[in-house]
Structure 1
Amino acid sequence: MPKIHFVNSEKTFDVPENSNILRMSLRYDGDLPNLCGGGICGTCVFKPVEGAEHLDKVTRQEQRKLGEEWLEKGYRLGCQTFVKDGDVAVAWDMEITKQVKKRKPDKLDRKPAQVK
């Protein structure tokens, strides 16, 4: 069973495989900031500090909201990201959150999401 460690709140939880980061934070009080839960607002932006290889692929919604700038730096949206099969540690920075929240979503071509 994978573990999610929420670095900022210093909390670690065992979670089922294919668990959503934000949902697990809400269920177990991991304290990941959130507002909309749909990839629109960007409030749940985080950076995996360990175990990024245990996360699922970047979604189209993450591509739209985060854009290449934030994706290349390793940021993800908790509402859109699932833990596959291993331990992950996630952290967030409220200054980054403010910047992402202000960012207007990109308009993407109708092509499938690219795998990183």
Structure 2
Amino acid sequence: MRRGDEKALSMLKLGLSWEILTSVQHHTTSKAMYDAIIDTFEGDAELKEIKKDMLKQQIDRFKFKSGERLNSVLQRFVAIVNEIRATDLQISDNDLNKKLLSSLSREWYTTTKFIK
């Protein structure tokens, strides 16, 4: 068992940049090092909750900007949705669709009513 852990630890070390390795090299098991790497990139529980709150605020405040093209609106919206999907934040597709349709400009009013 120890031999397998040593191999896993070595593989982790080989895949890390020098900056990251120096911050996690004090861990003696592959599991501890892996958990430290995950915490480095994803953050702790408090940071994850803050990120979820920020994503909720972003989606709540999402609006069409004056003069913005539809393609740009969709790109911004999809970027937020992708971040939401990367977390365990649960927002239904139906709610996301409603938010996108309600945030479009007046010129899309008839089309959005038809879609709804």
Normalised to the residue count of structure 2, the TM-score between the two structures is: 0.23
**Which structure has the highest strand share of the two?**
1
Higher helix proportion, which one?
Answer: 2
Larger radius of gyration, structure 1 or 2?
2
RCO (CA 8 Å, sep 6+): is it higher in 1 or 2?
A: 1
TM-score calculated relative to the size of structure 1: 0.23
